[in-house]
Chain A
Amino acid sequence: MSAGKTAVLKIGIPGGLLYYRYGRLWRSFLEELGAQVVESGETTRSILSSGVSKAENESCLPVKVFYGHVLALKDKVDALFVPRVVSVKRKTHTCPKMLGLPDLARAACEDQVPIIAPTIDFQTGLWSNYQAVYSTGRIFTDSPTLMLRAGLKAWREYRRYQRSLKEGLFPRGRLELDPRRRLCSGNELRVAVIGHHYNVYDTFTTMSLLDRLRSMGVDVVTADMIPERLAREELSRLPKPLYWSYEEEIVGAILACSRHRLVDGIIFIISFPCGPDSIVRVICEQENRRLGGPPMMTMVIDEHTGESGFLTRIEAFLDMLRRSSAVREREKVPSLA
């Protein structure tokens, strides 16, 4: 390794929001540059409650959780790493909250820790993203080669993680996938759990939904596992294109499930009061009805969601699905003959 500029810097990556998507990329990039990465770990009750008390009441649940992770890290690190992810696909944006995230993080920790906030924007082409890499890399090294190598390595790491999500490996912990366990194992009942990564894969706020479904003998399909081609087809059918990067994935996945009956039921997870989701919910529910898709349940979660009520609703939904898919089985037999 070429010489670092300073002593080893401790960089904290708050484990909320886009961490669930790019955490591996960020971690690998920073470590390759010679930083010591500190993470905030699983969301816990105390992380949630410190976030809730610090954040504005009007914020969405994931932002409150994010605040909690920032607070958990701020005294342990030399700087926080909170990239500003503006756009990850042409003609789309992320949500306004993500556009302002580094500034929110600054407000959350009251400027007590510096924040490294490169801007990622795929609408402006590769150059500005190279600048993002460079501006971060410069903190640690003078060597552009090292930066590029770190960037490429991180990218490969990210691709590997995405691939495993696509293959349906079971998310064992934060950004950890269990190579021996899968979300689908040929069970009779198959349910799609669709929502933002930070909702679906946060075991605390969703009360281990994926794990529970698996142990109830239900196959789970996430948005990552839906063939991209099908999702893209659905998006191109919309009368007005969407302009939020991550909502596109959600809508595409749900509508693909509806049209092709990929699953027996859909659980759509929304956090309160998510702006983009409040809009795409209308599209998903309407189109699912129109396409005669499987039963769909929209679960709105917030910091007050109680475990028992949550589970009761899930169980009732599964019961309903079991009954209706039993009916379908019976109908299927004569048609086969």
Chain B
Amino acid sequence: MGSLEVVLSSIFDQMGVDYILPPPNSQRTIELGVKYGPEFACFPLKTTLGNFIEALEAGADTLIMVSGRGPCRFGYYAETQRRILEEAGYDFRMYMLEFEPERIPDLLRKLRELKQGRSFLSLARAIKFAFAKAVLVDRLEKKALAQRWMDREKGATTRALKECYRMIREADTYASLRKVEREAFQLLESVPKEAREPVRIGIVGEFYLVLEPYFNLQVEEQLGNLGAYVERSVYLTDWLRPTGNNPVGGHSDAESDEAARPFLTHFVGGEGIRSVGHTVLYQRMGFDGVVHVMPFTCMPETIAKSILPRVSKELGIPVLSIVIDEMTGRAGVATRLEAFVDLARHRRKAKMRGERPQPVPGLL
């Protein structure tokens, strides 16, 4: 169970609407997505397509997907997936929710159908409650990132975090959510820790991949287990309430854009500019390295990947780009992460000893 499921299922639970959660992401999800998805479509398009197929197999007859208008591919996912699934012979209705101002009437019409007779007020309440959960999920994830490196027993923080997800999912009133909040933080606190020498790593990259541990090969966890204190640039709440404030991460889009300016001066869709901006911000905050995760063929992140070597060289912060698709091997990524954390640690120690920082070795 990932963070997104916790939040979405909450809306339906609160509304009392019948829903089916697709089975957890698995190798089969990827295989289905790759089989039906268009060649060199981006990886998230394929995996969400796989999720839809698995949900339809499990008996769903209605699919809900957000949709939009560029400049990147995401805005056209839903329509593409609808076409593919219909041609493959599945029987379903797809609701594409569009949030642009001029599409509001259409959005309301769709929501009216979807809420199955419940009032708009209860829908609004359900969404507000789900958002409260999302904020909590994000804060707990942030905490987990910050403490995993101290685990006495590897995996303890991750287990505790999973337990927190479960507790949050079960909370159904604000009162119980407040209780869960206290308990969850206590639970994370209580994980046995051990004093260690940290190394600080930032994670940047494409939203969906950063958020979905199964698909990013658990980079966060791997980094934590390698002894890295981790922060990341994007959180679920950034997307659910796109004010650009980055309330959990703590760096507004404006700040990030400003930091990116010497290297990338224009919005390029997705998280492209933020990947660059946050790398600069992490450098300013004294981080020892940045890991950039991106789906293969992702346009905004390919741009970021082309520019990050310059950032790395000019600011002297090591950056590791990991490109992920259905072919990416876990072992290869693990080795590269390990080498990267070693390098970052080495540079950190040199810095502590007051030695002049060595130049960042070329492309990693």
Residues of A participating in the B interface, judged by any CB pair closer than 8 Å: 55-56, 58-59, 84, 86, 91-97, 99-100, 102-104, 107, 110-111, 119, 239-240, 242-244, 272-276, 278-279, 281-283, 286, 300
Contact = CB atoms under 8 A, between A and B. Distances in A.
B66 to A, nearest CB: 13
Given A275-B42, A275-B299, A283-B83, A243 B306 contact: no
Contacts of B96: 240
B188 to A, nearest CB: 37
Contacts of B241: none
B264 A103 contact: yes
Contact of B39 (A99, A242, A278, A286): A278
Interface in B247-301: 263-270, 272, 294, 296-300
Given A96-B303, A243-B70, A278-B39, 18 more contacts: A58-B305, A86-B266, A92-B70, A96-B300, A100-B300, A103-B263, A103-B303, A107-B306, A107-B309, A240-B79, A240-B96, A243-B71, A244-B70, A272-B40, A274-B40, A275-B72, A276-B73, A279-B41
A104 B300 CA distance: 12
B223 to A, nearest CB: 22
Nearest to B300: A96
A110 to B, nearest CB: 7
Contacts of A86: 266
A244 to B, nearest CB: 7
A273 B297 contact: yes
B266 A94 contact: no
B306 A279 contact: no
B73 A275 contact: yes
Contacts of B299: 95-97, 275
A269 to B, nearest CB: 14
B317 to A, nearest CB: 16
B264 A100 contact: yes
A99 B269 contact: yes
Contact of A278 (B41, B264, B306, B323): B41
A95 B71 contact: yes
A239 B76 CA distance: 11
B268 A100 contact: yes
B75 interface: yes
Give the contact-size bracket for chain B: 35 or more
A135 to B, nearest CB: 13
A96 B72 contact: yes
Given A58-B302, A96-B268, A240-B96, A103 B72 contact: no
A111, A119, A275 pick with most chain B CB within 10 angstroms:
A275
B73 to A, nearest CB: 6
B306 A96 contact: no
B75 A243 contact: yes
B67 interface: yes
A239 B79 contact: yes
Given A240-B79, A243-B70, A58 B272 contact: no
Contact of B306 (A56, A273, A274, A276): A56
A286 B265 CA distance: 38
A104 B83 CA distance: 34
B297 A58 contact: yes
B361 interface: no
A273 B297 CA distance: 6
Contact of B38 (A94, A96, A282): A282
13 contacts: A58-B298, A58-B305, A95-B71, A96-B269, A96-B299, A96-B303, A97-B299, A100-B268, A244-B71, A278-B42, A278-B73, A279-B73, A282-B38
Contacts of B265: 102-103
B110 interface: no
Given A58-B302, A103-B265, A104-B303, A275 B272 contact: no
B32 interface: no
Given A58-B296, A58-B323, A93 B70 contact: yes
A300 to B, nearest CB: 7
Contacts of A84: 266
A103 B269 contact: no
Given A96-B268, A119-B266, A282-B83, A104 B69 contact: no
Contact of A99 (B42, B71, B297, B310): B71
Given A96-B300, A104-B303, A278-B40, A243 B69 contact: yes
A287 to B, nearest CB: 9
Interface in B60-83: 67, 69-73, 75-76, 79-80, 83
B87 interface: yes
Contacts of B75: 243
B83 A103 contact: no
A275 B70 CA distance: 12
Contacts of A93: 70-71
A210 B305 CA distance: 35
Given A103-B264, A275-B42, A97 B79 contact: no
A21 to B, nearest CB: 18
